[in-house]
A and B are shown apart, each in its own frame.
Chain A
Amino acid sequence: MRRAVLSAVLLLVALVLQLTVVNRLPLPGAGGPDLVLLVVVAIGLSGRPAAGAVTGFCAGLGLDIAPPGSYLVGEYALVFCLIGYLCGRLSGTSNRSALLTILTAMAASAAGEALFAAIGLAVSDPQVTWPSVRDVLPSSVIYDVVLSPFVLYLVMRAVRLADGLGRVSAPAGAADGSALLARTQAGGGLARGALGGATMLGGAGLLGGAGWLAGPVGSRGPRGPRVPRGSRPHTPRTPHLRQAAARPGDGWLGGGPRTGLPSAPARPARPGRPPRLRPGAGTAGSSIARPARTLPRSAPSLRMGTSGRRRDGSLGRTLGAGLGGVSGAAALRARSGPPGSAFRSRPGGPGRPAAAGRPGGSGHGPKFRPETRLPGGSASPGVLRGGGIARPLPSRRVSLRLGSARRHDGVVGGSALRGSALGPGRGLAARPVSLRLGSGRRGDGALGGLSGGSRLWARAGRGAQRRAAPRFRSGGTIGGHSVLGKRTPLRAGKQARFGAGRSSFLATWTGGRLGGRSTVWRIGSRRTGGLR
């Protein structure tokens, strides 16, 4: 709603300025810039496709019927509707880098001019003739291309401002709750370091708009990657959250092998540290493959990012609270905070990178998905409640599940852990909290744990009796053991494949570096979402 008002105001201003000022300026060249088109492009790039289409249609209709307009009514509406829609489509793919967004805006504005000329010629508008197109089109394209970054910047600023206003008026309860959670997380020994984790956690929590953030509109920010972490926590764009979400997981993941330092709280988040787990690394955990880049691309994972964060903290905190005085391991866990650190602090963790590193994959904030089906994101009370479910079970064994929510895939983390690191003889009690990594498939909500818990637990238990072979690897060194699952036995030598669930063409072109309205990156095929 706020965005709609903002769009209307922006378009009105652009339209009137276009007609009364810009068109009257004696600019060199036959054509001139088209402010309305540029604003439509910018709004489209900061919103959803439907919003872009509606915005473009309204803007075009306004330009059609505003007084000096002499084209057929509907021409501009048609063109701008298409352009707005395309920009909305491309906003998902181009939100990875500001440069790409700017290039998209330039291309879209040029395409808009060309499309209008084409439609004018197609409907044989008497004013749009070949000679005038030859004269007007190049210069207006040049003007638009030159001006589009500036208009884009201004519109983005305005959108951000409007969203910030919306943020201020967010429900106070949710804000307080998440802020409290975040603060307790930050202060309770999580201490991801001021740079990456805690600050952003606090910021995100203070803002309290996590549910709003999780919305697909707010979750998109073309200049997200450029925004420095920790600064500007008021911005509603989730790129901050995404990066911050990936950050603690990173540390935790990578922390597996080097948990020789058990003082997890003292360890700051190392900025600029490469993701530990990468496809080529060859270690078992490596298949998790830099989720910092890939995971944040989808709205579900964004939502998970915030909620997973909170869950993260709550789980760690809960474990710490419940077991703090019980055992040393539990105390270590309590100190380390997130569940991953609980594993890390286990004895033998440093010596077993395969065991500690792989489940570490779920240490990424986005991957903890307690309840994907809750629509509102993490700020919704349902998720908070889901988080609360995990807490009163202090003696659960934590098993981290990796991969998509196939039936058996949780076993990857779980069984491996159980077989190696968390042997059943460790005496930890009844039910594992399974942290699941991956897409929002069937097993979502396993962190909250109760619904899927028994089934998964059974599955995991079965897997625990088998040999816990690392299922992710980049080389074919591990012999084929059909460890898990009837359907998809592990084939020897098969490499883990990384694919987006639904990848855009841009992602296809760039090999996944750019683009990515894809959902969570999965390991395995896109159909099964599982490892093969």
Chain B
Amino acid sequence: MHDTRRTRVVLGVLLVLALVLITFDYRDGSSGPAHDLRQAGGSVFGGMERVVSAVTGPVVGLFRGSGSGSSSGQVAALQQQIIRLRAQLNQEQLSRAQYAQLTQLLQLSGRGGYRIVAATVIAMGQGYAQTVTLDAGSRDGVKPEDTVLDGQGLVGTITSVNATTCTVLLATDATSVVGVTLADSGQIGWVTGPGKTRSGSGLLRLQVLDAGAVLSRGTQLVTSASVHDRPYVPGVPVGVISKVENRAGSLTALALVRPYVDFTSLGVVGIVVVPPSHNPRFSVLPPPPPRAKPVPTVTITVTPGSHSTPSPTATP
């Protein structure tokens, strides 16, 4: 189509506007026009997301929940009934799953002494971002840099709050850094997120400040104490070391950490609005998996020349 001068002017103005916005947001992210814009957008779109998520929640649950089999009934009425019942069942299962999540969450918060506000994930970030939106906002007492956890462990921290919604930066995001303490040795380090990776199964990267620290698989991590308990309250389980990467000459010891939380199926989460009065240390950690007891092996030494008898263990 014809590309008139006016079109080019429009395009140029819009591009300059976008660049100006990027610049403003880059310079001062927590204030300024970009922040105001984001606040306004959050209040507008957040409400819509709440409504839509309430409607589409069962749909999402259908896909991510228990798989649905194929109904072979030929009668349409029966099929409809099956579908309806299945939807009902799915809703039931969803609410049951949420109930289980909530129970776990309450247990964990009770153990840790956190006071939490329960919230539900209503939207997830786009593209490369690992962020979610929760349906709790400043009306519920949520403030920026609150810690978010669920029944298994640490989820993330609040980055922005609107009246009815808030945005959580997940621990797996590339910009997330969580200070942690190793459960066995008390070494401190930090965990960074891998960003968006294949099917969300990203392992966190642990760096321990002591380069000579001996890391071993199965070591559990909890969040370490922060100033004024922000952005992470202490004692929240983060994950378990799954692989140790020893790099010669590195200033820090490296390891990969498998998080406790399944970030692909976040449902009910809790926002810690009142941090614990004392550091729960490692009391919130789940019991470590029972170690496999070493099975004694029988070694048979056969000396040539001597009279050998068949070993009793050789016979089944």
Which A residues form the contact surface with B (CB < 8 A)?
A: 12, 15-21, 23-26, 28-31, 34, 48-50, 53-54, 57, 60-75, 77-78, 81-82, 85, 88-89, 91-92, 116-117, 120, 123, 125-129, 131-133, 135-136, 140, 216, 220, 299, 502, 517
Contacts and interface: CB of A to CB of B under 8 A. Distances in A.
B231 to A, nearest CB: 14
Contacts of A15: 45
A68 B199 contact: no
Contacts of A127: 128-130, 173-175, 195-196
A26 B129 contact: no
Given A20-B52, A74-B34, A136-B128, A66 B196 contact: no
A517 B18 contact: no
Nearest to B160: A67
Interface stretch (B89-97, B119-127, B215-223, B249-257): B119-127
A132 B172 CA distance: 12
20 contacts: A17-B52, A19-B125, A19-B126, A20-B60, A23-B125, A24-B123, A26-B264, A50-B11, A53-B11, A65-B45, A66-B45, A67-B49, A69-B131, A70-B167, A72-B21, A72-B25, A77-B21, A81-B14, A128-B127, A129-B174
A68 B167 CA distance: 5
A123 B132 CA distance: 23
Interface string B177-199: 00000000000000000111111
B107 to A, nearest CB: 26
Interface string B154-169: 0000011010010101
B59 to A, nearest CB: 7
Contact of B15 (A81, A132, A135): A81
Interface string B6-22: 11001100110111111
B197 A73 contact: no
Interface of B: 1-4, 6-7, 10-11, 14-15, 17-22, 24-26, 34, 37-38, 40-42, 45-46, 48-49, 52-53, 56, 59-60, 63-64, 121-133, 159-160, 162, 165, 167, 169, 173-175, 194-200, 264-265
B38 A65 contact: yes
Of B2, B24, B64, chain A has the most CB atoms within 10 Å of the CB of: B2
A311 to B, nearest CB: 24
A26 B52 contact: no
Given A61-B18, A117-B128, 12 more contacts: A26-B200, A30-B199, A30-B200, A49-B7, A70-B125, A72-B25, A73-B38, A127-B129, A131-B197, A135-B197, A216-B2, A299-B2
B127 to A, nearest CB: 7
Contacts of B159: 70
A169 B165 CA distance: 42
Of B20, B123, B160, chain A has the most CB atoms within 10 Å of the CB of: B123
Nearest to B197: A135
Contacts of A63: 126
B173 to A, nearest CB: 6
A213 to B, nearest CB: 15
Contact of B127 (A31, A57, A61): A31
Nearest to A47: B1
A72 B64 contact: no
A67 B123 contact: yes
Contacts of A24: 60, 64, 121, 123-124
Contacts of A116: 127
B124 A75 contact: no
Nearest to A88: B1
A501 B117 CA distance: 67
A73 B21 contact: yes
A106 B22 CA distance: 27
A15 B53 CA distance: 13
B174 A126 contact: yes
A142 to B, nearest CB: 13
A278 to B, nearest CB: 28
Enumerate the 8 nearest inter-chain pairs by beta-carbon distance, A residue then B residue, closest first: A65-B41, A74-B21, A92-B1, A78-B18, A23-B124, A132-B195, A74-B22, A66-B45
A68 B15 contact: no
Contact of A70 (B15, B17, B169, B200): B169
A270 B259 CA distance: 72
Nearest to B23: A74
Contacts of B19: 74, 78
B240 to A, nearest CB: 22
Nearest to A216: B1
Contacts of B174: 126-127, 129, 132
Of B46, B49, B122, B128, chain A has the most CB atoms within 10 Å of the CB of: B128
B195 A62 contact: no
Contacts of B264: 26
B45 A67 contact: yes
A57 B14 contact: yes
